[in-house]
Structure 1
Amino acid sequence: MSKVNSDVRRAETPAQLGTAPGFVIRKLYQSYSAMWSRVIGPQLTGPQFAVLDVLDAYDGSDQASVGHAAALDASTMVDVARRLERRSLIVRTRSPIDARRKVVQITSLGESELFRVRERRVQLEQRLFAHNPRRKDEILAELNDLSERWAELAAELAAAED
């Protein structure tokens, strides 16, 4: 612990907190979000980009599956879709087969925005992995493996509680 002056102590991250996976992930995500905002700009958030990217590959999909593919829970997907729709980047219509479902499509304006952000995302990734560009694929594979394993563990814990 260090002192700022004789009356006030300055807190530092305790060692056990600095090695907690959730804490490290939060710090990583905060840094990533700050860089995203600076490089990409505030016009499109990461979740909004993910939805547009999914729709670029699977246009006309139902809203629930788009949210799942973009790693968004249902309520977040609804919020993201509303915001994108307000900006005319997507359109949502009722499914002709099941009126309870919404079909989501990317607009030409959404495609233009996605193209713009994809170019900047390449710049962001180059900066993020500038320290070790050869390991980029390996690092991302490890993060994806970890994400999948932890999702499995969470599902196992949820099932055990039921």
Structure 2
Amino acid sequence: MGDAPGFVIRKLYQSYTAAWSRMVDTGLTGPQFAVLAVLDEHDGSDQASVGSAAALDASTMVDVARRLERRSLIVRTRSPIDARRKVVQITALGEAELARSRECITPLDKALFAHAPRRKEEIMAELNALSVRWAELAAELDAAES
């Protein structure tokens, strides 16, 4: 089983989620944090672009945005250019929550890479390269089915 990519990825994700919930514990999920972090860099972007940058599919982004909006961490408004799009902005409360979470993430990162702290950049580069390649493969397979 340890040589099946899906199995290893599932184990990594489950372990990461458990560590996140114990060490970050600010009330934000990983996807919620990702959305706030994207907005911190690109405030006022449309919801679809934020979701794409946060690696969330459209339906997940809608759900995450609703939850963040209910907590007053973001505000969504209709785009003045295209009424079908929603513009998303982080609130002062959202910025404060993001800052609190970031303080907790540093110890989490240290714990996650404690086995090889000098290789963190190399490991992350490889994971990112795999992510890009596997997304390309999925797109290629989708195109072949069409």
Same fold (TM over 0.5): yes
Counterpart among 144, 149, 152 of residue 128 in structure 2: 144
C-alpha RMSD over aligned residues: 0.7
> 1:42, CA displacement in angstroms?
5.8
Q: What are structure 2's unaligned runs of at least 5 residues?
A: none
**What amino acid does structure 2 have at the position aligned with 1:90?**
I
Deviations 1:87-121 (A, max 9, x none): 00000000011111000000000000000000100
> Structure 2: how far apart are the matches of 1:123 and 1:113?
17
Gaps of 5+ in 1: 1-16
Aligned counterparts of 2:41 and 2:2: Cα–Cα separation in 1: 39
How many residues were matched structurally?
146
2:33 is aligned to: 49
More divergent stretch after superposition (71-80 vs 38-47): 38-47
Provide the C-alpha distance between the structure 2 equivalents of 1:78 and 1:149, rounded to a whole number of angstroms.
26
Within 5 Å, give how 1:6-21 maps onto structure 2: 17-21=1-5
Q: Does 1:31 align with 2:15?
A: yes
SS state of the match for residue 132, structure 2? Answer: helix
**Normalized against structure 2, the TM-score is what?**
0.99
Q: Which has the higher helix share?
A: 2
**Which stretches of structure 1, 4 residues or longer, exceed 3 Å deviation after superposition?**
none
Q: TM-score w.r.t. structure 1 length?
A: 0.89
| Identity within the alignment, % | 79
